[in-house]
Amino acid sequence: GQTLSAKAGIPWPAAIAHRGASYDAPEETAPAYLLARDLGADYLELDLQRTRDGVLVAFHDDTLKRTTNVAQVFPDRAGQPISAFTLTELKQLDAGSWFNAAYPARARPAFVGLKILTLDEVIDIAEGGANKPGLYLETKVPKQFSGIEKDLKAQLGRRGWLAPRTAPAGFDAAKAVGVAYTPGRVILQTFEKDSLALLQQQMPATPKILLLWLGDGYIATKDTGAKAPAGGPGLAAFYARQEVESRAAFADWVRFAKQHGAIGTGPSAALTNGGDQSYADLVHPWMNDLTHGEGLVIHAYTVDDAVDFKALAARGVDGFFTNRIAALLSFQGRA
Maximum separation of any 2 CA atoms in the chain, in Å = 57
* Residue 111 makes contact with ligand G3P by CB under 6 A: no
Binding mask 177-216 for ligand G3P (x = CB under 6 A): ------------x---------------------x-----
Q: Which string of b and e fits 293-329 if b means at least 16 CB within 10 Å? A: ebebbbbbbbbbbeebbebbbebbbbbbbbbbbbbbb
Residue 18 annotated as catalytic: yes
* Residue 301 contact, options ligand G3P, Ca ion, none, Cβ 5-8 Å cut-off depending on partner type: ligand G3P
94, 138, 304, 305: which one binds Ca ion (CB under 5 A): 138
43, 59, 309, 321: which one binds ligand G3P (CB under 6 A): 321
Spell out the residues 6+ positions from residue 105 whose beta carbon is closer than 8 angstroms to its own: none
Instruction: Phi first, then psi: give them for residue 112, nearest 5 degrees.
Output: -65, 130
Which among 299, 207, 301, 193 has a CA at the least distance from the CA of 255?
Answer: 193
Task: Kindly tell me which of 47 and 151 has the beta carbon lying closer to Ca ion.
Answer: 47
Task: Kindly tell me which of 321 and 331 has the beta carbon lying closer to ligand G3P.
Answer: 321
CB of 302 to ligand G3P, least distance (A): 6
Cα torsion at 281, 284, 290, 291 (round to 10°)?
Answer: 50
* Residue 47 makes contact with Ca ion by CB under 5 A: yes
Task: Kindly tell me which of 16 and 181 has the beta carbon lying closer to ligand G3P.
Answer: 16
Residue 284 annotated as catalytic: no
Contact in structure between 16 and 41 (CB atoms under 8 Å): yes
Binding mask 31-50 for ligand G3P (x = CB under 6 A): --------------x-x---
* Residue 324 makes contact with ligand G3P by CB under 6 A: no
How far separated are the first and last CA of the chain, in Å rounded? 23
Expressed in percent and rounded to 5, the helix, strand and coil fractions of the chain are 45, 15, 40
- Residue facing ligand G3P at closest CB distance: 301
* Residue 264 makes contact with ligand G3P by CB under 6 A: no
How far apart, in whole angstroms, are the C-alpha atoms of residue 21 and residue 240?
A: 33
Task: Kindly tell me which of 15 and 181 has the beta carbon lying closer to ligand G3P.
Answer: 15
How far apart, in whole angstroms, are the C-alpha atoms of residue 153 and residue 319?
A: 25
Residues that bind ligand G3P (CB under 6 A): 18, 45, 47, 60, 138, 189, 211, 266, 301-302, 321
- What residues line the site for Ca ion (CB under 5 A)? 47, 138
Please identify every residue annotated as catalytic: 18, 60
